[in-house]
């Protein structure tokens, strides 16, 4: 079966391509390389022994999307990662986020609705819950007013998919991730942001390797045990495996509804300082950091109730925060020593 992975050279996308190929799927990747590199194909090939098909396409170009589906008319499943994803940047450049994250989704669905049936996995986010009133967060928690344009694009994306699935042959699973971290154990692929990292862990590892002078911790006055913000950090390999299980659920017609939603996390919250201390433990390095004011759009805490993913989807996070930090550190060192 041929599966399209959009954004398949990105951080989560590349790890998911590996897991798909390990399960015997034929994979075709679409990526515009705006936040990734074609070199990632070598890493995927090194791990799996097989090079996926790759098409350099910008999904904002409607005609290019149409041409892709004419060429690859045997695609039966789509895992859609391609999107801009930094909260802070989205506050500064909202139109970039609305164009990139919404129009690309619409163009994909327009092509898929012409098929007799299609399975669609959407890369969503726990940002749709905003600052949830209760922890841990279940899938039934109310979707709050988004605190950033990025979060809003994920909410809108879910609504667009739900509306479309009602009147087409598309079945979908919305996967709301918490905070993906780590790298493949081989250190052949990992998180490689272009420019200054927007996420905590790559900033930590880049500081550890000497690329950054020090880490900024945004906010030490949150109502949490150590004053820093709390998130649910999930190993990217665990996350990738969940996408394969979700796709198989749709292929095997095990889904209980046209659109299903699952939280993907570990069920445990870790503060920024706990992540720093985990890195220091696995690397043996002391990390220089300074406290800074809170950032606009950041919430106090978010961690998942994973019961539905565990019991209904049949997936569970297996890897620890220390294992994630160790793999991220191994990857960072390899990247810098190339």
Q: How confident is the model over 105-142, as pLDDT tens digits?
A: 999 999 999 999 999 999 999 989 988 999 999 999 99
Quote the pLDDT of residue 195. 84
3-class DSSP state for residue 188? coil
Q: Using the Cα atoms of residue 97, residue 77, residue 4 and residue 65 in order, give the sign of their dihedral.
A: negative
- Alpha-carbon span 10 to 249, nearest angstrom: 24
Quote the pLDDT of residue 147. 82
Q: Is 129 a catalytic residue?
A: no
Q: How confident is the model over 190-207, as pLDDT tens digits?
A: 998 878 888 899 999 999
Using left for φ > 0, alpha for ψ between -120 and 50, and beta otherwise, residue 144 falls in beta
Q: How confident is the model over 232-271, as pLDDT tens digits?
A: 999 999 999 999 999 999 999 999 999 999 999 999 999 9
Average pLDDT for 38-48: 98
Per-residue confidence band for 32, with pLDDT thresholds at 50, 70 and 90: very high
Evaluate whether 47 touches 20 at the Cβ level (below 8 Å): no
- Sketch out the chain's domains with CATH numbers: 2-181+233-264 (3.40.50.720)
- Alpha-carbon span 34 to 258, nearest angstrom: 32
Number of C-beta neighbours around residue 254 at 10 A = 12
Quote the pLDDT of residue 76. 92
**pTM across the whole model:** 0.97
Quote the pLDDT of residue 139. 98
* Pairing label, strands 170-177, 179-181: unpaired
Candidate list 107, 129, 150, 303, residue with the active-site label: 150
- Alpha-carbon span 119 to 267, nearest angstrom: 27
Give percent of the chain above pLDDT 90: 90
- Joined together, the tokens standing for residue 9 give 């050279």
Evaluate whether 69 touches 111 at the Cβ level (below 8 Å): yes
Say whether the peptide bond before residue 271 is cis (omega within 30 degrees of 0).
no
Q: What angle do CA 232, 136, 155 make, to 5 degrees?
A: 75
Q: How confident is the model over 140-162, as pLDDT tens digits?
A: 999 998 888 999 999 999 999 99
pLDDT at 338 over 80: no
């Amino acid at each position: 079966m041929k599966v399209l992975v959009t954004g398949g050279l990105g951080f989560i996308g590349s790890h998911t391509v590996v897991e798909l190929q390990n399960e015997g799927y034929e994979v075709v990747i679409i990526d515009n390389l705006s936040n990734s590199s074609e070199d990632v194909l070598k890493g995927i090939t090194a791990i799996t022994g097989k090079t996926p098909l790759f098409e350099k396409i910008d999904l904002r170009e409607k005609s290019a999307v149409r041409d892709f589906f004419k060429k690859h008319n045997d695609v039966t499943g789509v895992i859609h990662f391609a999107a801009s994803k930094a909260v802070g940047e989205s506050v500064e450049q909202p139109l970039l986020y609305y164009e990139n994250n919404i129009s690309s989704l619409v163009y994909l669905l327009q092509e898929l609705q012409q098929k007799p049936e299609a399975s669609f996995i959407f890369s969503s986010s726990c940002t749709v819950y905003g600052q949830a009133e209760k922890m841990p967060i279940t899938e039934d928690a109310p979707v709050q007013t988004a605190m950033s344009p990025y979060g809003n694009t994920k909410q809108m994306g879910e609504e667009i998919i739900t509306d479309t699935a009602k009147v087409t042959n598309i079945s979908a699973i919305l996967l709301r991730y918490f905070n993906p971290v780590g790298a493949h154990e081989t250190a052949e692929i990992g998180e490689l942001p272009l420019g200054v990292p927007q996420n905590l862990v790559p900033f930590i590892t880049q500081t550890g390797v000497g690329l950054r002078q020090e880490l900024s911790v945004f906010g030490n006055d949150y109502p949490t045990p150590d004053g820093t913000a709390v998130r649910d950090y999930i190993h990217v390999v665990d996350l990738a495996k969940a996408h394969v299980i979700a796709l198989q659920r749709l292929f095997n017609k095990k889904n209980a509804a046209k659109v299903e939603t699952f939280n993907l996390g570990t069920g445990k919250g870790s503060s920024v300082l706990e992540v720093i201390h985990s890195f220091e433990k696995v690397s043996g390095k002391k990390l220089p950091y300074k406290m800074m004011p809170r950032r606009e759009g950041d919430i106090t805490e978010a961690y998942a109730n994973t019961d539905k993913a565990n019991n209904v989807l049949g997936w569970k996070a297996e890897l620890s925060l220390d294992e994630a930090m160790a793999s991220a550190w191994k990857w960072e060192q390899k990247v810098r020593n190339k």
